[in-house]
Amino acid sequence: MTAADAPTVKCLVWDLDDTLWDGVVLEGDDPAPFPAALGTLAELDRRGILHAAASRGEPGAVRRHLTERRLSDWFCAVQVGWGAKSAAVRRIAKALNIGLDTVAFIDNDPVERAEVASELPMVRCYPAAEAGRLPGFRDFRPEHLTAEAAGRRRLYQAEWRRQEAEEGFTEGRQAFLDSLGLVMELRPATEEDLARASELTVRTHQLNSTGLTYGIDELRRLSASPDHQVLLAGLRDRFGDYGTIGLSVTELVGRDAVLRLILMSCRVASRGAGSVLLHQLIRQALADGRRPVAHFVPTAVNRNLLVTMRFAGYEATAADGDRLVLVVDPRRPPAEAPGHTRVIGGAA
C-alpha cells in the first residue's frame, strides 16, 4: 500500500513522557504539555480523529497526571506499563475496533518508533518533533468534516463504558445485549445527512458489502431517484447514542430490490446491528412484493459481513467477475431478526 492509498488516520496513539508533555512523570516531575501537542489534540479531535495513549510508566501516577493536567478527557483509551509499545498499540486498535492501517503513533524515542514500525508496519509512525505539524499532513485530513465527527470522541468513550459494563456482567452475552435497550432508527437520507453518508462509505471497510464509495453529489442524485432507496441507520442504548452507524443503497429493478451497498460501522459489530438492518431490508422488500437481491465483493476484511448476510437468508446464485450475486428466496422466509434491538422508522 502506497502513502497515497493509505486510509485517513482514525486514531493517533501518543507516547506521553517527552512527547505529549515536557518531562517524565516517573521522575517526580510535574511536566506541562507542549503547546504544539495541545493544539494538535484539539484540532484532530475537531476532525473526528481519536486520541489514545501508549506510554511507559506506573499506571496510577500517569493517570493522576492526566487528570490533574485536565488531559484525560481527550483520550478514548490509555495503555500504560512496561511492555512493548507495539503490543499496547495493538490492544488499543482492538479495543476501539478499528484497523491497524488507520492508526498512527507518535513518540520522541526513535527506538520505540522502530519497534512499532517493525512489528506493525501498517501503523504510521511520527517523531514527537512533528506533533504540531500533523494536522497539515494528508493522512490527518478527512474528506468530510461533519457534525458527528466533532462528537466522535464521546461516542467512543461511551463504548469504552459499555465494554467495562460487559466485562463486569455475569449473566452471559445475550442477557447483556438484552439489558442494553438497543433501538435502531432507520430513515431516508436527507440533504443534512449526505456528508455523513459519504463519510461512512470512505471510512468503513470491515463491514462493507461492495467497497463502493459515494460522493455527496452522487448520494443526492440517488436519494432523489424514485428507483433508489438510500437509508441511514442510527443506534442508541442506555449508555447513550452511537450516532449514525449504517447505510444501505438499494436499487429497484423490475420486481427485484437490489442491495448495491450495505455497510455498518465496526463500532457496532458486536451488537448484531448488521443482522438487524439486513433483516429489516429483507422484510421491507418482501412486504413490497419484491425479491431481495444483494451484490457482494469479497475483500481482505469483509468476510464476516458475508457470513452475516448468509445467516440473514441471502444465498449466492451467481458470480459476475469478483462480484457475487445473492438472493433471498421469497418462498423460504428468513430466520427471525435478533430480538434484542427494537427498530423504528424505515423507507419512505
Q: Where in the chain is the domain with CATH 3.40.630.30?
A: 180-345
What gap in Å lies between CA 300 and CA 237, rounded to an integer?
31
Phi, psi angles (nearest 5°) of residue 315 = -120, 135
Q: pLDDT tens for residues 177-194?
A: 999 999 999 999 999 888
pLDDT of residue 170: 86
CATH topology of domain 11-140: Rossmann fold (3.40.50)
Q: What are phi and psi of 313, to 5 degrees?
A: 125, -5
Q: What is the dihedral of CA 181, 340, 278, 97, to 10 degrees?
A: 70
**3 state SS for the chain:** CCCCCCCCCCEEEECCECCCECCCHHHCCCCCECHHHHHHHHHHHHCCCEEEEEEECCHHHHHHHHHHCCCHHHCCEEEEECCCHHHHHHHHHHHHCCCHHHEEEEECCHHHHHHHHHHCCCCEEEEHHHHHHHHHCHHHCCCCCCHHHHCHHHHHHHHHHHHHHHHCCCCCHHHHHHHHCEEEEEEECCHHHHHHHHHHHHHCCCCECCCCCCCHHHHHHHHHCCCEEEEEEEEEECCEEEEEEEEEEEEEECCEEEEEEEEECHHHHHHCHHHHHHHHHHHHHHHCCCEEEEEECCCCCCHHHHHHHHHHCCEEEEEECCEEEEECCCCCCCCCCCCCEEEEECCC
Calculate what percentage of the chain has a pLDDT beyond 90.
Answer: 59
The dihedral built from the CA positions of residue 79, 82, 85 and 91, taken in this order, carries a sign that is negative
Domain with CATH 3.40.50.1000 in the chain: 11-140
Q: Above 50 in pLDDT, residue 1?
A: no
For the chain, what is the mean pLDDT?
Answer: 89
What's the pTM value of the predicted model, to 2 decimals? 0.67
pLDDT digits (tens, 9 = 90+) for 248-267: 999 999 999 999 999 988 87
To the question of domain 180-345 being in CATH 3.40.710.10, the answer is no
Res. 4 pLDDT band, cuts 50 70 90: low
Answer whether 347's CB lies under 8 Å from 284's CB.
yes
Residue 331's pLDDT is: 84
